[in-house]
Each structure stands twice: as C-alpha cells, then as structure tokens.
Amino acid sequence: MRDVLDLGDLHAEVIRKTIKHVHLSVLPPAGKVRVAAPQSMALDTIRLFVISKLAWIRSQQRKLLSQERETPREFLNKESHYLWGKRYLLEISFADAAPAVNLTPRRLHLQVRPGSDAARCEEVLDGWYRQQVREAVPALLAKWEPLLQVKANRVFVQRMKTKWGSCSPESGHIRLNTDLAKKPPECLEYIVAHELVHLLEPTHNEQFSALMGLYLPHWQHLRKLLNELPVRHVEWPAGH
C-alpha cells in the first residue's frame, strides 16, 4: 500500500511494511522522500513525523544536489579507477581465458575475452569490487560484533543505487554497497559499525547517535568524508 503526503513543495511517498518503526529516506539523485511505516500507523501520525524531520530532509536534499559525481566510466586505457581510496590507471588486455583483475602499485590490469565491450568490462570489475568488500568484512565483523554484543545473521554485498548500506533488524541481515571498495577503508568500517548499531537501535534517533558516539567517536567525520567523496555516475530513469 502506497500513499503520498503533500507538504507544500515537498512530497513524501509512504510505503506500508510489516515493521515496528518508521524509516525515513532521502534518495538520490534529486532528494526524493520515502517513508517506510508500520501497516497500522495512521497517516496523520506519519505526517507529523515527517513534518518534525523537515529540517533534516532539506539538509539531506541539499547535500545530494551538491555532491560531486564521477564522470561515466568508458573503460579505456589510462582511465582512473579506485580501490580503497587509492587511484589506479586502467590497463585492459584481451585473452581467450577467464576474466581477471590484478593490481600493480599504480595500475589496475583488467583482462577480458576478445570482443568484450564496456558493459562486460564493468561487470567483471564490479564482481571484483564485490569480492574486495566480501574479503574485508569478516575482520570488521570480528571486531565490531563482540564490541556491540550483536550478531549479523547474513551480510550481502551488492550494487545499491540509493544507500551505502542497510540493515533489517528483524532478520539480522545487513547489505553493503559494492562501491565501498572504492572508498578509503575507514568508510567501510564506519558503514559496518553503523549497520550493526541498527541491530541495537533501528532508527536514527538520539539513542542511535549516542551509541555511535560511544563506540566510534569520530563517526560523524567519517560520514562527512563518505558523503563528500564522488559517487558513481548513474543514469537515473525518469521519475526517480
């Protein structure tokens, strides 16, 4: 079930879910507002909640509209690509063998089969980035789960258009954006800690901020760092 709240020049899409708490999102690229709310919550209650968050919503929308975006990747030799915040120059080779990605101190070597186009190069590289995140996550979980006394039931790494990460407290599932492999390692740690804290506090309320401040005192600096880094160029469909 979907409703739309009209608040002057701001429109918020409301989606009903089998959840206990309200979740408010401001989505890129243009700052669309989406509210996930419990099935039984009255629309007037949701309206009051959104009104109470108007200043935060406007702030998030300004950040999205001002955030730098990467130019589209064309997968040409000497094009810039990143791993853990470090810049590498792309070097593509063709071979009748399984695709592979290898690093030297300054170059990222991408081997693909003859005839592979840019879309195939992107697919191979995305798979490699996904693996980089997967390999980095166990050590972070080993650090943060005992510290917070929580346990993530499953961790998924995937392309995400609108978020760096997400948590479903009911299932204990955490999702991480593949593109975190391009950012400095401390950004991935911040997102892992952030999502694990959601297992203790599902919303972004004062309790959540207090927990983040207790366990990761410089979390707001890391959030600012991540928000200021260029994000992937995405061709957004009309209406988003």
* Per-residue pLDDT, 239: 33
Domain total for the chain? Answer: 2
Closest CA to 67 of 232, 228, 234: 228
Closest CA to 18 of 33, 4, 37, 43: 37
Q: List the structure tokens of 134.
A: 């997967």
Of the three residues 66, 97, 116, the one that is the final residue of a domain is 66
**Strands, E, within the chain: which ranges?**
2-7, 10-17, 23-27, 32-38, 80-83, 86-94, 100-103, 107-112, 154-158, 165-168, 173-177
Residue 56 structural domain? 2-66
* Per-residue pLDDT, 230: 55
- Domain match, 164 and 197 both: yes
Of the three residues 36, 66, 96, the one that is the final residue of a domain is 66
What does the alpha-carbon distance between residue 3 and residue 78 come to, in Å, rounded to a whole number?
A: 48
Position 138 confidence tier, pLDDT thresholds 50, 70, 90: very high
Are the beta carbons of 120 and 112 closer than 8 angstroms? yes
* Per-residue pLDDT, 238: 32
Beta-carbon contacts of residue 205 (< 8 Å; ≥ 6 apart): none
What is the mean predicted confidence (pLDDT) over 53-64?
A: 85
The share of the chain scoring above pLDDT 70, in percent, equals: 89
**DSSP 8-state secondary structure symbol assigned to residue 93:** E
**What is the model's pTM?**
0.70
- Domain match, 88 and 16 both: no
For 112-147, give the DSSP string: E-TT--HHHHHHHHHHHHHHHHHHHHHHHHHHHHHH
User: How many C-beta atoms lie closer than 10 Å to residue 150's C-beta?
Assistant: 17
229 or 106, which is more confident:
106
Q: Is the pLDDT reported for residue 98 higher than 60?
A: yes
What does the alpha-carbon distance between residue 17 and residue 240 come to, in Å, rounded to a whole number?
A: 21
Instruction: Report yes or no on 218 lying in a domain.
Output: yes
What is the mean predicted confidence (pLDDT) over 108-115?
A: 96
Average pLDDT of the chain is 88
Least confident window among 23-27, 33-37, 49-53, 79-83: 23-27
* Per-residue pLDDT, 147: 96
- Domain match, 56 and 18 both: yes
Q: In angstroms, how far is CA 59 from the centroid of its own chain? A: 18
Closest CA to 126 of 115, 110, 140: 110
* Per-residue pLDDT, 69: 56
Least confident window among 26-40, 48-62, 147-161: 26-40
- Domain match, 127 and 203 both: yes
- Domain match, 10 and 37 both: yes
